[in-house]
Amino acid sequence: MHQLPSVRSYVLVWLTLTIMTFVTFYISTIDLGDWNIVVALLIAFFKMMLVILIFMNVKAESPLTKLFVGAGFFWMVLLLGQVAIDYISRTWMPEGKMW
């Protein structure tokens, strides 16, 4: 059907994912202030992309499937982004809180 990744690339992805798990764990013990959550989410996003592209083999899927996968992300960006904009911008008002 589709071009399948080699066993070697599967094992490399697994190795990267495992190392990244330890990195996430280790970085969480260092105090980076507000950047802790940013780094943790960036690593999680990187891990997710590896799983989607290689393990789920979206890399070799049809353009239509890729579009659907992209639509899922776009929906998440809308949901989280719009809500975040609302909550972040509330404190910008002079009164501090709007409700």
Partner 1 sequence: MAEPHGAVAEHNPNLRHHFDSMEQQFDSATLGMWVFLLTEIMFFGGMFCAYMIYRSMYPAAFASTSQHMNPLWGATNTAVLIVSSLSMALAVRAAHLGQQKALQILLLITIFFGLCFLGVKAIEYHEHWVDNKVPLIGGHWDYSNTPEFPNQAQYARQAQILFCFYFFMTGFHAVHMIVGVGLMLTIFAMAHKGKFNSSYFTPVEISGLYWHFVDIVWIFLFPLLYLIGHTKNLI
Query: Cβ distance 18 to 26 under 8 Å?
Result: no
DSSP 3: P
7 SS3 class? helix
72 SS3 class? helix
- Contacts of partner 1 in 10-29 (CB under 8 A): 10-11, 13-14, 17-18, 21-22, 24-25, 28-29
- Give yes or no for residue 62 binding partner 1 (CB under 8 A): yes
Q: How many residues interact with partner 1 (rule CB under 8 A)?
A: 49
How many CA atoms does the CB half-sphere of 74 hold within 13 Å? 6
Residue 43: CB minimum distance to partner 1, A? 8
- Give yes or no for residue 93 binding partner 1 (CB under 8 A): no
Which residue reads 């008002």 in tokens?
93
Range list of H helices, 29-91: 35-50, 63-90
Query: By the criterion CB under 8 A, which residues form the site for partner 1?
Result: 1, 4-5, 7, 10-11, 13-14, 17-18, 21-22, 24-25, 28-31, 33, 36-37, 40-41, 43-44, 47-48, 51-52, 54-57, 61-62, 64-65, 68-69, 71-72, 75-76, 79-80, 83-84, 87-88
